[in-house]
Amino acid sequence: MRVGVLVNPDAGLGGKLGFKGSDGRAKEARAAGAEDRAGPRMAQCLSKLEELLSSGLNRVNANPEFYTWNGRMGGDWLNDFDFIDLGSSPKETSAQDTSRLVNDLISNQVDIILYAGGDGTTRDIVNAMEGNETPLIGVPGGVKMHSGCFATTPNAAAEVLLSFLQGDLLSSITEVMDLDEEVYLKGEWKVKMYGEAWTPASPRFMQGSKQQVERASEDEIIEGLANHVSDLIKDDENLMVIFGSGGTISRIGAHLELGLTLLGIDIYHNGEVFTDLNEQQLLEKIEPHDGEKLLLLSPMGGQGFLIGRGNLQLSPNVLTAIGQESILGVATPSKLIGLNFLRIDTGDPELDLKFQKRRFIKMLQGYRTTRVIRVLES
Burial class of residue 285, CB neighbours in 10 A (0-12, 13-18, 19+): middle
Work out the number of other CB atoms within 10 angstroms of the CB of residue 236: 12
Residue 87 is predicted with a pLDDT of: 96
pLDDT tens digits, 234-286: 999 999 999 998 888 999 999 999 999 888 899 999 999 999 999 999 999 99
**What value does the mean pLDDT of the chain take?**
87
CB of 176 closer than 8 Å to CB of 210: no
| pLDDT value at 1 more than 50 | yes
Q: What are phi and psi of 253, to 5 degrees?
A: -60, -35
Residue 214 is predicted with a pLDDT of: 44
pTM: 0.66
Residue 54 is predicted with a pLDDT of: 96
Residue 167 is predicted with a pLDDT of: 92
pLDDT band, residue 131 (cuts 50/70/90): confident
Residue 174 is predicted with a pLDDT of: 85
Q: Which has the higher per-residue pLDDT, 56 or 195?
A: 56
Q: Which of 49, 41, 51 is nearest to 1 (CA)?
A: 49
Residue 226 is predicted with a pLDDT of: 94
Residue 263 is predicted with a pLDDT of: 82
pLDDT tens digits, 138-185: 999 887 777 888 998 899 999 999 999 999 988 888 888 776 556 554
Residue 213 is predicted with a pLDDT of: 43
Residue 215 is predicted with a pLDDT of: 44
pLDDT band, residue 34 (cuts 50/70/90): low
